[in-house]
Structure 1
Amino acid sequence: MQYIYRYFTLSHGFARKVKKFARDGPEQLLVIADFDRTLTPYYKPRRGPKAPLEQESSSHGLLMSSSVVHPQVRVGERELFARFYPVEMSPVLSESEKLPFMEQWYDKAHGLLVEHALTKAQVKEAVELGGLTFRPGFHSLLKLLETREVPTLVFSAGIYDVIHAALEKEFKAERKRNGDASSGQQTYTPGNVHVVSNMMRFDAQGRLQGFDGTTIHSLNKSARVLLDSPFWKKGQLEKRHNVLLLGDSRGDVRMAEGLKTDEIIRVGFLNVHVEEALEEYLELYDVVLTHDASLASVEMLIEQFAAASAKEEAH
């Protein structure tokens, strides 16, 4: 596992940011995290030492490749992925060159689901049957954020309904792994966690009619869509001026655009094309973690903020 930290040697920007985050403590902290290939890994855990690496599903891929959806959806998903994913991940194409392809990809993918009458029950079943995994360190990090009462926005270009169900499934399973077999609970995802993503719109019979609002894709993710959300207003998040941003794409660095922030620390997961893209990622992110790294270093960073703040209060 390799960690690459980028310090702004001329302005000492990163060191200054860390000092401010530590001085202000968790009370001023807001976490904005991408979902696919940030909170989840790029590759599935190996089934054995000699087993080949398998790419982890995205929230779109989990649903559209599931056995519960219409066969034509699965065929269409494979064709769309083969055509558009290399464009999204290309280290040589500019964002303006990628943009029309991303718009086509999302329009066609969402259109397939509507055309073949996806139901709300199928979404739930697809998540239950799917084996979506989370990046090592996920539960430890999320537990820390819950304990410290840090609002955590999972901001994704995926599908809200899939992500919400996947989080519920994972947190419920973690409770069971820890010996808590309580079944009467309505929700398992911590109350400080909120998902912002492409939300499905169903009719009274539970059939998909479309998606609400402007489509969020990897190149147009900015926090402007957060400002009118009930979670934002209820949590008075405008009072939190230090943002810890976690992402894996070039577009993810803009997830906090539109917020009134004092400082943003950007942590980037560079999962593939490391040699080709490392220099660019070091320009975009304050910290770059390569080769499907765990979330442990993010947890350590937050612990550092909390410990320094507590020490300062003690004096």
Structure 2
Amino acid sequence: MRDRDHVMNTLIKMGNDGRNKLQVVADFDRTLSKYVHHENICATCHQVLEEGEMPEVYKQKTFEIREKYLPIETNPNMTIEEKIPYMTEWWTQMHELLIKYPVSKNKLHDMVAASTAKLRDGCKKLFDTLHRCDVPLLIFSAGIGDIIRELITQQASCYNNMHFVSNDLDFDENDDMKGFKGNIIHLFNKNENAVHDSDYFSNLSHCSNVLLMGDSLGDLQMANGAENVESKLTIGFLNFGVTDRLELYKSKYDIVVCEDETLDIVNAILNQIIGTDLF
């Protein structure tokens, strides 16, 4: 924690206000999903496709693209503003490649089932609790929304209190992919997407306490559109590069969770806010 007193005071305020004033905003890849499982690195949304029955040329090209842009994403010496043009290039190239080698809904289902992508330990408990308490959950991701929903459906449950903002695929009447819907969402433009121009946050103006979770510095912008915010607690998951990046993450996030593949801390915080009788 960068400021223990701030965290404790925020938790007390949120606890006094209870579930009715709470909303949760979370990234997906490597925030709600695992970075490693049994010492093996897990797939992100896009990597689910690379593990699946896609043409070898697709897999090779995605590897080359990621090798080019990942060092830029994680470079601690570059500002977010400096990274944005490169992230736009990265996502544009990935989307164009997938459009060239499209998938069907059935194929997507099978690839998710066979993939190494996994929800964090305690994620189902988180979803169940938020649904039971009618706490809105915004899952805001630069990944592929159809894969996210499929993964949650297969490993936990999709509920009506969940709202997804991601890169959604567009399918034809035969459930074959024909492109993407809307504008590209990459790691560092989550404060510019359509959710901030919609009525999502205005409809939640009574939910003035925000619990935000992410694994990149760009994720801190996800709740910029929230209205009437009285308290906000941010939790950052630092999955790798702790030695080089911990101080930077501590300067940005209220709480930094290092190399932990569970949601134990998040669920413990909800326990304080919502009440032990619901766990």
- TM-score, with structure 2 as normaliser: 0.91
For 2:40, the equivalent position in structure 1 comes to 54
The residue type equivalent to 1:225 in the other structure is A
- Cα distance in 1 for residues equivalent to 2:246 and 2:253: 10
The change in CA–CA distance for 1:285 and 1:123 in structure 2 (over 3 A counts) is same
Structure 1 Cα separation of the partners of residues 232 and 93 of structure 2: 34
Partner of 2:216: 249
For the residue of structure 2 that corresponds to 1:111, the secondary structure is helix
Amino acid at match of 1:107: T
Q: State the shift of 1:108 in Å.
A: 0.6
Q: Which residue of structure 1 lines up, in the alignment, with residue 11 of structure 2? A: 18
* Structure 2 gap segments, 5+ residues each: none
What is the CA deviation profile of residues 72-94 of structure 1, one whole-angstrom value per residue up to 9, with x for unaligned ones? Answer: 21111111121112221222222
- The residue that corresponds to 2:3 in the other structure is 7
Q: Does residue 74 of structure 2 align to residue 85 of structure 1?
A: no
Q: State how many pairs are aligned.
A: 277
Alignment of 1:1-315 (within 5 A): 5-7=1-3, 12-43=5-36, 45-46=37-38, 53-63=39-49, 65-171=50-156, 188-222=157-191, 225-227=194-196, 232=200, 236-260=203-227, 261-307=229-275
* Percent of residue pairs bearing the same amino acid type: 32
Residue 268 of structure 1: how far off its partner (Å): 0.6
- Cα distance in 2 between the residues matched to 1:236 and 1:251: 24
Q: CA deviation at 1:238?
A: 2.5
Note the C-alpha offset of 1:34: 0.6
CA contact (8 A) 1:113 1:208 kept: no
Contact 2:122 2:263 in 1 (8 A): yes
**Greater displacement, 160-169 / 236-245:** 236-245
Shift, 1:296, TM fit: 0.8
Question: Residue type of the partner of 2:265?
Answer: S
1:91-134: CA deviation from partner (whole Å, max 9, x where unpaired): 22221222121111111111011112333332222112223211
Change (3 A) 1:305 1:223: farther
Secondary structure at 2:158 match in 1? coil
Q: TM-score, normalized by length of structure 1? A: 0.81
Deviation readout 1:38-83 (Å, 9 max, x if unpaired): 111211x22xxxxxx32211101112x1332232211111111211
CA contact under 8 A between 1:223 and 1:259: conserved in structure 2? no
Cα deviation, residue 306, structure 1: 2.2
The alpha carbon displacement at 1:135 in A equals 1.1
**Residues 151 and 193 in structure 1, CA contact (< 8 A), matched pair in contact too:** yes
Superposed CA offset, 1:213-251 (max 9, x none): 221110111275325558x38x93232111100101010
Q: Cα offset for 1:23?
A: 1.4
Asked if structure 2 preserves the Cα contact closer than 8 Å seen for 1:114 and 1:210, the reply is yes
Tell me the CA shift for residue 15 of structure 1: 3.0
CA distance in 2, matches of 1:104, 1:253: 22
Secondary structure, aligned partner of 1:78: helix
Q: Which ranges in structure 1 are unaligned for 5 or more consecutive residues?
A: 47-52, 172-187, 311-315
RMSD: 2.3
Measure, in 1, the Cα distance between the counterparts of 2:249 and 2:67: 25
Shift of 1:6: 2.6
